[in-house]
A and B are shown apart, each in its own frame.
Chain A
């Protein structure tokens, strides 16, 4: 009666994501979950008292526990900044990891969830490379032909900023053959490159970010992302 156990679908997806990107030379990087305000906001061109900070409700650590203002990272982007600072172009990286938002929870929102962000910086990197990379990733991850389209958006650390919709072509899945809003992306803002010691007149790059929980909803048909973190074997043992 005792068979093999079960890996959590989040761990499985992260392993698959790493494999897909590693084939193209993207390094799996990581950073702290308790992140300084500097890295979570300032170095990402998200200025204090700017409305862009409203996009993310933030958990702040108590001042007595930290040496400088610190938050639970609201995005994995600070890992990108730390990577840019410690490497020189050309560079390719992904940084899947846990992130936190101080907001009410429901079937599609959790106070903790996982994000996959990535970047590619080199001479002559353009939006076409971004589109190609995202299509490459999704077609492998969803094992099918995927088309991607861009719409204008805004994220302080990219310019231009993009909303990415994807379409799984063919197949009879509920998600097939229609556009689904799936991630934010863009060309890395010159201020962010400069801040990390990379000359924006010589190098350009793209960055993207996607909720892995959202990918799980699409990949496995999960109806409530809270199951991911409920510690319930009735959920995990299905995988």
Chain B
């Protein structure tokens, strides 16, 4: 996940002297996350980071990245909101009924009375804008600010519009029934709210007094009791929802917003009251008002587990010599509690780190913070092979035999727009099925490649493919390797004379493999089940030596058609073919992409040399008359050199 971070926001938490943007970028790249980009400079810089999936729990917020930086740079973290005291008084004006504490382990709600809704102060607008979040009003902005600050999503309601029963606001958190509807706030770029009909089982936030679904828990809220300019009293909700359920619901509806992304990544269950304290402080600062109390129902506790970490395992897995005291120091820098008990370190992650659960997690912490540049290369000693891949060896044998017979190997798409085995969903309409044969794509390839014979300097077109095909057997998908080979003699299509050549090729393959090959041929293409063939052949126990490929550098080729011209010249006896070739090549100019010496014959003391010139442009389709000019130059050059054009 890519997330933007404001440099000066990070600096709120970093010790003096503040590290430069460059220092931050380098520290994170080497020890934590990839930097996708940096916009702006100095205090206004915005750093875009690719947060790894296991750290979506604690690092999709400024506090998390600042904590990470303090660990890496070995500096003190300042003003950590996770170490703040929650001083909000308990309230009995709000109640919550949680039907399933696995789906909603914790639910908090707080009240702020007497706020004045209006635009946010400039510093807040700027910070949100810097990370790509639109400013709405000071209350909504405060919820976003705290989310990007601490990683806890929050939602604000207008308390005045929220019905009360016996003076109490009642929340219910329950699973939806099938067919139940909920109205969700208009999505980005849309004006209409979205009415969603639920499958059942999604988690809903419900107003207990009116039994109205007010939002999809963790995914998206509705317009119910929305904050507007007239709002004076607010209720703020901050909860923890089961990540998998949140993700299924969000993905099922195609909703991926900042809040749902955070809930999906299992943020700490300790966050909600801390986020409540933070947001109440922020709101009072920017919108006035006074705290009206906090409801905190936490019935399903989970905290980072204590884990036995053996220093010898740390060294053994990382291959790094590092003392136990150095390990302990690194772990403690990351906020990890380390209890040294003899040879064992009992490590417990800080509350924000829901990802530190096994010994290897802590070994990774030591390794990456200490620095992977300390790892020293050791090439494992050579040991003899114990198994050989017979399938691969016979495929190589087939390849080598066909290449020797002038065949070019191709690899084509596994996908079809129609065939036996289908796919549930595909990005493209031509990728809805899997191929059951190679013949059709080989026929297509022959048709497409047949016009290139002059360009490629080949007499005809010979192609083969070895690849997996998929069929239905006993009702379910089965796969095997297939071999298809094909020949095309004419650019105009199958001529009928290809099959004789194919029969000859197959006979040679049969000799090479020492068995009869049950090819099925059709119009110059033959295919067979190679897996079956190989199964009948003896296993192999020795790889052939592979010649390293020549130092090939690919050059991009023109997509435009080529034009062919032949020329025959009488040359004085004893004239070197290379000399004539050079004369022609120089004269023909850059549009001549291939020059082939076709034949030589001598008659009555004179020698005739025939050449084929292929012209092609990288920019356009050449017209015949555009080739006349270079050909004219070729004729002139030939005459000048004393050759006579036949």
Contact = CB atoms under 8 A, between A and B. Distances in A.
Interface in A128-142: 128-129, 131-133, 135-136
Contacts of A9: 549, 552
Interface in A148-180: 148-154, 156, 159-163
Contact of B375 (A131, A133, A238): A131
Given A51-B247, A66-B477, A126-B318, A15 B423 contact: no
Interface string A4-24: 111111111111101100111
A18 B389 CA distance: 10
A51 B264 contact: yes
A48 B458 contact: no
A223 interface: yes
Interface in A47-63: 47-52, 54-55, 57, 59-63
Q: B379, B458, B596: which has the most chain A beta carbons within 10 Å?
A: B379
Contact of A27 (B56, B386, B412): B386
Given A24-B382, A62-B422, A152 B31 contact: yes
Nearest to B543: A22
B187 interface: no
Q: A29, A228, A233: which has the most chain B beta carbons within 10 Å?
A: A233
A220 B553 CA distance: 5
A137 B644 CA distance: 57
A156 B16 CA distance: 37
Interface in B53-84: 53-56
Contacts of A16: 546, 548-549
A7 to B, nearest CB: 5
A98 interface: yes
Interface in B400-429: 400, 402-415, 420-428
Q: B445, B459, B549: which has the most chain A beta carbons within 10 Å?
A: B549
B263 to A, nearest CB: 11
A152 B371 CA distance: 9
B425 A151 contact: no
A221 interface: yes
Contacts of A156: 53
A43 interface: no
A159 to B, nearest CB: 4
A8 B409 contact: yes
B411 A231 contact: yes
B25 to A, nearest CB: 13
Contacts of B441: 231
Contacts of B425: 60, 102
A8 to B, nearest CB: 4
Interface string B443-454: 011001100100
Given A2-B458, A59-B426, A111-B427, A7 B364 contact: no
Contacts of A187: 317, 360
B556 interface: yes
B362 to A, nearest CB: 10
B299 interface: no
A95 B529 CA distance: 22
A69 to B, nearest CB: 10
A67 to B, nearest CB: 5
B368 A160 contact: yes
Contact of B372 (A105, A162, A230): A162
A52 B377 CA distance: 30
A153 B448 contact: no
B463 to A, nearest CB: 7
A61 B414 CA distance: 13
Given A25-B384, A220-B552, A232-B448, A150 B459 contact: no
Contacts of B423: 59-62, 72
Given A55-B53, A102-B425, A234-B455, A132 B379 contact: yes
A204 to B, nearest CB: 6
A5 B408 contact: yes
Contacts of A162: 372
B89 interface: no
B394 to A, nearest CB: 13
Contact of B56 (A51, A92, A111, A222): A51
A72 B423 CA distance: 9
B525 to A, nearest CB: 13
A49 B247 contact: yes
Interface string A63-76: 10111001010000
A65 B421 CA distance: 7
B364 A160 contact: yes
Given A61-B422, A127-B318, A135 B379 contact: yes
A129 B412 CA distance: 37
Contact of A1 (B403, B426, B445, B596): B596
A25 B385 CA distance: 4
A29 B389 contact: yes
A238 B363 contact: no
Interface in B36-59: 52-56
B598 interface: yes
A236 interface: yes
A152 B52 CA distance: 9
B53 A51 contact: yes
Contacts of B404: 4-5
Q: A1, A67, A152: which has the most chain B beta carbons within 10 Å?
A: A152
A153 to B, nearest CB: 6
B53 A52 contact: yes
A235 B558 CA distance: 10
Contact of B383 (A25, A65, A143): A25
Interface in B325-383: 358-361, 363-364, 367-368, 372-373, 375-380, 382-383
B29 interface: yes
A129 B380 contact: yes
Contacts of A50: 53, 243-244, 247
Interface stretch (B196-204, B227-235, B468-476): B468-476
Contacts of B32: 152
B468 A28 contact: no
Nearest to B360: A159
Nearest to B424: A60
B375 A128 contact: yes
Contacts of B368: 152, 160
Contacts of B421: 34, 61-62, 65
B30 interface: yes
18 contacts: A2-B406, A8-B411, A11-B409, A18-B546, A25-B383, A50-B53, A61-B434, A105-B428, A126-B316, A126-B317, A127-B320, A151-B30, A163-B34, A220-B552, A220-B554, A231-B448, A238-B552, A238-B554
Given A8-B411, A156-B53, 13 more contacts: A3-B406, A4-B406, A5-B406, A18-B546, A34-B421, A49-B247, A50-B53, A55-B53, A61-B421, A61-B477, A62-B422, A237-B456, A238-B552
Interface of A: 1-16, 18-19, 22-25, 27-30, 32-34, 47-52, 54-55, 57, 59-63, 65-67, 70, 72, 90, 92, 98, 100, 102-105, 111-112, 120, 124-129, 131-133, 135-136, 143, 148-154, 156, 159-163, 187, 189-190, 204, 220-223, 228-239
